[in-house]
Structure 1
Amino acid sequence: MSLVTHSSTIKLAGNLARSSIVFTQNMSNRSQIFNPFSNNDSPSSGLVQTQREMSSGGKETWLQKFFTVDTTKTAHSDVVGSPNLYRLVYLSTIPERNEDFVKLSTKMLSKFTEDRDDYRLVGAWQTRIGHGEEIVHLWQYKNGYQSMDDETGDDFYPDDKDFIEWKHKTRSMIKSTHSQICMEFGYFDEPRERSDKHIYELRSYKLKPGSMIEWANHWAKGIEYRKSDNQNVAGMFTHIGELNMVHHIWAYKSFQDRNRIRRNSWANSGWSETVAKTVPLIKNIKSRVMTSLPYSWLK
């Protein structure tokens, strides 16, 4: 595969005077200039609408960082990601022990859903459609890599008796586990508490290597058409584990609600454009429909 570097200068209003983008891309053996405002999009739309503070000290937005970083010399995760890290854990339980696992976890893991300084169990779901007897946990590292370095071995709480006991007692209930360290997309908000009962959909995309920045650019605009009903929960991509994976988590009040929201999205030309531009970047897609377990913070 040949890599060709393109440089283009983009004028932006306000405090973005002149910025340069250098982006390396190859698609279908053709080199293509990366244009964040394709189809004559104006700077007042799309990415500009996704501005968010990326640091407590300054007012750097995701857009500003995107246009001031040379992507040939900077890790792509630094361009499209935020400092928030998560561990996505898949636990495949023995069918006849699944109920025991849930009961024990409800008793012993509930306290770890509280807002803590190190780690937090944000979501705990039972897969209903997609992978039978699979439980999904979403842990948040409150201090990013510092929280990861504070771990001892594979334990979140190596000195907590409840957590140690939970691991010991559930070992015989689990067939297999695997996990991924994920970084939150810069244009996606952190998960917000939901008190009402929901069904959740975890959509996982395997992208072509080298396409993450282009994906993020299109979704930074497309997300505006997918959060009108507060259905967006989390958006992240893998940093450790199976790479080039994107995970989006959505919440719906019912299957009918899911159908209504998705159909309404297609009525917007901006959403159909996002789909048209991102489908060529995808190698495969998996979807899980999940329900919250009693000890989940996200209901």
Structure 2
Amino acid sequence: MAKHILLKNRQLALESHNRKLLYDLSYTADGIEKPLIIFLHGFKGFKDWGNFDLMMEYFTQLNYVFIKMNFSHNGTTLDSPLEFNDLDRFGRNNFIIELEDVQAMIDQIFEDEIIPSREWDKRKLILIGHSRGGSIAILKGSEDKRVQAVISLAGVADLKKFLHDRDIDVWKKGETVFVDNARTGQKMPLYPQFLESYLANKSRLDVISAASKLKHLLIIHGTSDLTVPIDHAFALKNSNPIAELKVIENADHTFGGKHPYIEKLLPMNFKIVCDLIAEYFQNIELKN
């Protein structure tokens, strides 16, 4: 008899930077190979934000294996995954570390039995990312041939969005930039290494170039997104003629999600997002 498996706050040890990250795993143990989705949160986000548990439940019910992971330097801790209690680590985060985190997760899945081999189809690995997580998903999807499809939710087409001119001037002086977290009231540091890492890896971090190389790319964006304007979605689509773009009228950056989220059902626009993703996978064939 099929059984629902839900493993929360599992730890993955990472060799680089002597760090660990947390992830959640959900699937139906029925002995049938299923597609695997790895979900990546955005800037100032975490895997347990808002309605992300409901998204995991949605795709588990459609018989996907679903993993949502924290980036190792997102500012939360192993003991307090819902709070930004390690702002020093947040300040030491950068795009390359996030790419390494995803690589480590993928490697571990393929090398170890995080998921029993009979339960997932190694030919069907999907990355879904929200906002900056969408950028990381696109970049990693273009680097790792094991990734068969990428879904960008309100994704950022140009990572220079995170490097404002006034901040660059501060970093070049060797000083720290602080970003406001409107929800928590915290001032979150970004150290000069953030700029240094970007400049040292600029070609690798070209999201538009990476998007142009993807065989299966679905871009979903809302017309009322004030955080990442819809122009980013059009730029991604223009880079890849075979990519699909779905625009949700009046949807904001989180597609109606918020934190905390106490409702039992997905927000209306986020339900549309999930339905669009499910429909997309019904219409394409994923295989190596």
Greater fraction of residues in strand: 1
Per the normalisation by structure 1, the TM-score is 0.24
Larger Rg: 1
Per the normalisation by structure 2, the TM-score is 0.25
RCO greater where, 1 or 2, for CA within 8 Å and sep 6 or more?
A: 1
